[in-house]
Each structure stands twice: as structure tokens, then as C-alpha cells.
Structure 1
């Protein structure tokens, strides 16, 4: 996977946004990853696109100084655009990786992800999706299951929330103290299947990326669960950050109209939902 360059990008590629003094969102081509913490200790949340390790290492040094490395890497899920540089980063940094127990088969070489659904209702990115890698990676002894109680050992003050649908072990991360939500792909703020929207990062509240989502019932329940947390700020795996009334209204609308907005009219995984 890590050798396969995916020719997709957006206007925000290379952008760093400090959502909070200790949360920096870094956009790699079309996906966001997060540096959470400070000089005293930090964690990388998600690991970008294939062949992006050097980019991520460069950004790490800019934020935390030469030779800096995280306490751990925490994955929202293991799809290629969130774990693309994972093997190389683990090799360079020699740190543990945490993911939900239900995501481990895809990260220990036991099971490949389902093939993307190019037949799904959607734009050009959906049509390109068969070229996206789905093969399992094997992190061996480096991968650890997140505790079932929602605690994240290397991230005090944060909780993992199981938000399946897009993948079986998808999680979102929530910090109750300031109600910051890192939603992964449970919902996103760009229409990820439409190439123009991805390139321009046109903001709209959407369900998870259509071509890789296999369980729409679970996806809908996950969005509802996140809305109930009443986050003050949210950052997602794709698209730009959102806060305040825009976030409250956007999530409420997505929950109320999930079937029309998020669920495609047709596709391999849709029939189970309708």
C-alpha cells in the first residue's frame, strides 16, 4: 500500500490549522491527520495517504523540533487514506499503534477491506475508487486494541467512541473538557465522492465517504451518537474544521435528513439499508 501513490489532491493539501493550541490538523492531499499534544508529549491521530511519510515527518519537525516522535499513533480506522504512511512511520519511530479491536484484522494482515464500490451513486472520485488499495497491512506486535471502556492510554482526557458504519472498528475521539471532536470519517464536511468538491473543499455536512461505507444503518446511528455529544468544535477526516452554530446546525440537519443527504440512491451496500 505505502508504495502506491494516489493522484488526488485538494486546495488545502499541505495546510496546517491549529484547532486548539494542542491540536494541529495537517492536510495530506485529500485527508486530514492530527497532531495532538505538546512538546512534553503528543500523539499522531491517523497516518495520511500512501507515500506521505516524508511529508508527515517534515511537519512533525516543524511542530515539535528535530527528531521528535509521538508517544503513539491512534487510528480512527485503517482505510488506505488514514493509514497510508503507517508502516513507514512505525518503522521510523518505533511507537505503538492503537485502534479499535474490530479494526485489528485489517491491521494484522488477517483480512482485506471490502473493495470500494464504483457502482455507487456519486461523482468522479467514486468512479476512481477501484484503484484505491484495500489490502490489509500487518503491524505485528506494534498494534494494540484500544480499551473497551473508551479510555485512550496515550491521550489522557480523551475518549474513543465506537462509530461504525464506514468501517467495523471506526472510532471518533472526544475531549469532554472543551468538547472537541475528531470525527474521522463518521461524518465529513466535504462531498468526498465528487472530484470538484474535493479539489475545492466546498464545505457541506455529509455522511461517510460513499464508495467505502458498507453499513449505512450503523453509519446513521454513529452520526446521531456524535450529535448527542453536542461538540463545540469538530474536525473530520475530509474537509475543513467546523464550530459553533454552523456545527450544531450542520449535524442536526445531517441527522434529520441522513437518508436523503448521506445514503446513496443505489450501490452495492445500499440495498441492505433501504
Structure 2
């Protein structure tokens, strides 16, 4: 699986860049050639060599991040993580509710192939759901919502897609790394993923296990009125397309995001 944007990167701000690894985005926060920068998520399995290549181009040879921060621990966001920390020996931060999936204690629920949707949803039985074990390399994000090494950023708990999913927000310019809480492509549709058709969407259906929490998280992010979103899947988005898309998603979440059926769907409890 890949998309037309795979292997390319976009500089959204002078100190914010993201790179697309096939169908998932990896963030880099820090000025080019800076000694202090942070990696956001770690892509698909075997992504480490690609990530290191981007690092060389952006920050210089032998550079490494001050830390790696995770939106969540699904396989397509932690794929290169083990190899990276073996070489870099840097701390990894995630929400405390994600730690069991990062310390080998608990597997995620299996993907829901019963949700209606496109080919990627039907293929989701192939996607790994097993925990990885980073041991003491991973630790919880600070309880005060500060992001390590990034004084002007805060983390926001946005569960639903996973119990400890978080998003990262910088109020000074309204920049939001939304992870998979809000994405800008219809992730269950192979056609839309391949062409990266930009539209504001809820989280990927096949891996989301708590739809009420997912809706609440979308509301929480929309209330921030972000100027720009960099999501886990899809292209960065800003302006009226983003604001109108978020408003529509909040108001019509059940229709636009929630599957009509599936083992994690109980529409009677949604509000």
C-alpha cells in the first residue's frame, strides 16, 4: 500500500515538517540543523532507514532527536521505533494508557473487518495488533500536558481510536498534530488513500474501538479552532476547508464517521 505522496515531505512551518511513509505521516518539530528537535511517531514497520535519511537531510549527519513523542501505538505509527531507539538511545513518550501496548503487556483489539468501507477496511485483518516491548525506553507524558523539549506545545488526550491517543497543539499559531483522532483522507477507501483526496474525516474505522470517545475527541479538537492540521493520514490542511470540514464532522459525526455496523459499534449509546 502506498500513496502518491509517499516518499515526500512538506514544510508546514519553518520549524515543522512532515514526511509521508507510504500512507502514514511522520512529524519533525525543530528548526533545520537545530541541535534540539523532536520526532512525532515512527511510521510503518521497517521505516527506520527512511526516517534516518530525512533526519540527515533536515538536521545533519549524526543528528538525533531529543525525544520521540507518540500520538498512539498502532503498528503504522511505531513501526520504526525499536530500530530507532536502538541506535539513538533517546526517550519515548506516550500517554500512560498507551504504555501497556508499548511495554509488551497488552495487545490491541483485533481490527474490525466487519465495518462497511473500502478495500483497506476489508484488508485490515492483515494489520498487526500485537504489543511491542520498549521496556524502560518509554515513559508517560507529563501530567501537566507539557510536551518534553517543546515548551510551546501541549498534549491533549483524544481517545477513541485508542485508549491513550493524544494530539499535540501549539496555540501560538494554531498548529495541530491530530494523529488519527481527525484525519484528512478517507482511510478505509483504497482509491482515496492512493490519490490522497483531501477531506476531514474521523478516525480509521477498522481500528477504532470507542466511538463515543472518538466523537468527544473530535469536539475537543474542533473547539481549539486550529489554523492548520497535520494528521496521521492525509495531507496537511488549513483555512476554510479545515474549519468547515471540522464543523461538519462534529455535527454529522454519526453519519460521516461511525460505521453502520461493526463489533465496536453501538449507535444506541452515541450522543
TM-score (norm 1): 0.96
SS in 2 for 1:234: strand
Ranges of 4+ aligned residues in structure 1 off by more than 4 Å: none
- Aligned residue among 83, 89, 96 for 2:91: 96
1:245 Cα offset (Å): 1.3
Write the distance in 2 (CA, Å) between the matches of 1:223 and 1:185. 10
Q: Which residue of 1 aligns with 2:11?
A: 18
Q: Which residue of 2 aligns with 1:199?
A: 194
SS in 1 for 2:132: coil
Deviations 1:157-211 (CA, angstroms, capped at 9, x unpaired): 1000000000000000000111100000001010000100111101111100000
In structure 1, runs of 5+ residues without a counterpart are 1-7
Matched, 1:34 2:11: no
SS in 2 for 1:157: strand
Q: Residue 67 of structure 2 contacts residue 148 of structure 2 at CA under 8 Å; is this kept in 1?
A: no
1:149 Cα offset (Å): 1.6
SS in 1 for 2:215: helix
- Aligned residue among 63, 66, 69 for 2:61: 66
Q: Which residue of 1 aligns with 2:166?
A: 171
> Which deviates more, 170-179 or 145-154?
145-154
Deviations 1:113-141 (CA, angstroms, capped at 9, x unpaired): 11001111111001111111111011111
What are the residue-to-residue correspondences of 1:176-255 with 2, within 5 Å?
A: 176-255=171-250
1:238 Cα offset (Å): 0.3
Write the distance in 2 (CA, Å) between the matches of 1:35 and 1:69. 11
Matched, 1:56 2:51: yes
Write the distance in 2 (CA, Å) between the matches of 1:205 and 1:221. 16
Deviations 1:27-55 (CA, angstroms, capped at 9, x unpaired): 00000010001213100000000011101
In structure 2, runs of 5+ residues without a counterpart are none
